[in-house]
Amino acid sequence: MDYKIIVDSCGELTEEMRACGVYETASLSMEVDGVSIVDDRTFNQADFLRRVAASSECPKSSCPSPEKYMELYRCEAKRVYAVTLSSELSGSYNSAVLGKKLYREEYGDKDIYVFNSRSASVGETLIAMKIQECEEKGMEFGELISCVEEYIAGQHTYFVLENLDTLRKNGRLTGIKSFVASALNIKPVMGSTPQGTICQLGQARGMKRALVKMADLIRQEAVDPGSKVLAISHCNCLERAREVERLLLERFPVKASFIVDTAGISTMYANDGGIIVVI
């Protein structure tokens, strides 16, 4: 294989992606009540959600070490690409960049590039798929980087969660005003900024209305959706994800769409019932 794509474990890989031999995962880890849980193929979502629900403490996450990234860069591939969580939300990007520096000091030069997704979850998935698409077209290393960075700049992430407690307690909602939502069943519609931070786009009373609100916002902001892939990840709510897909496909055509369940880190932040949409 001439190239490898490393995706940190906040990005969900489809079964097709896992089977093709192109992708590797840089696993983050989580801690609940002093128990460390690795975000890899052994992750048990149901057990993790039970642990979080039973805990009085907020779960925490840790990113892969620079040494872990360095080891992943040691593959036989001539070109290696890494896709990480937004650098505004995690240290994974900085760790991957430092890992590249360590690799070059230890083993010499190699074509390695780290993409800051400015997103999370299936936002990373779509970027990884774009890298593979560009490689299969035979793009040169520099041309591919420019193409994928342009793709990232045009990508938009949206989400609606049952609650924002984990995001807020872990400092991921900096600059967003707190509001009393639980008593009135207000669900905020959230999104990503061009810098990769989180912003509030709207709100509605109840999950169903919030999902419709999100679909309407996506329709308003979508540019040339017919040429894009729609990706949806859900935390333990497949039927809700299918309804969101239906709402969106009613509003505009897309090139393709898929639904995946959240992996560990995305589960930690999305919480039971959360929906993430990227296009």
Nearest to 72 by CA among 90, 98, 41: 98
Mean pLDDT of the region 160-175: 81
pLDDT-derived band of residue 167, with 50, 70 and 90 as boundaries?
A: confident
Give residues with Cβ within 8 angstroms of 182, minimum separation 6.
163
Q: Which residues pair with 259 in a beta bridge?
A: 232
pLDDT-derived band of residue 278, with 50, 70 and 90 as boundaries?
A: very high
Indicate the SS3 state at residue 162. coil
83 contacts 128 by C-beta, under 8 angstroms? yes
Residue 182 is predicted with a pLDDT of 57
pLDDT tens column, 70-106 = 999 999 999 999 999 999 999 999 999 999 999 999 9
Indicate the SS3 state at residue 104. helix
pLDDT-derived band of residue 185, with 50, 70 and 90 as boundaries?
A: confident
The single-letter DSSP state of residue 56 is S
68 contacts 26 by C-beta, under 8 angstroms? yes
E strand or H helix at 132, and its extent? helix 122-136
Q: Which two tokens stand for residue 239?
A: 């039927």
CATH of domain 157-278: 3.30.1180.10
State the Cα–Cα distance between residues 184 and 210, nearest whole angstrom.
13
State the Cα–Cα distance between residues 2 and 229, nearest whole angstrom.
25
Do β-strands 186-192 and 23-26 pair in parallel, antiparallel, or remain unpaired? unpaired
pLDDT-derived band of residue 183, with 50, 70 and 90 as boundaries?
A: low
pLDDT-derived band of residue 239, with 50, 70 and 90 as boundaries?
A: very high
CATH topology of domain 3-28+63-153: Rossmann fold (3.40.50)
State the Cα–Cα distance between residues 212 and 158, nearest whole angstrom.
12
94 contacts 69 by C-beta, under 8 angstroms? no
What are the Cα distances from residue 55, in Å, to 32, 35, 46, 73, 117? 7, 11, 14, 37, 31
Residue 69 is predicted with a pLDDT of 98
Indicate the SS3 state at residue 8. strand
pLDDT-derived band of residue 174, with 50, 70 and 90 as boundaries?
A: low
Provide the residue type at 163 as one letter.
N
Domain ranges of the chain: 3-28+63-153, 157-278
pLDDT of 178 higher than 90? no
Nearest to 2 by CA among 97, 143, 139, 108: 139
pTM for the predicted model, two decimal places: 0.95
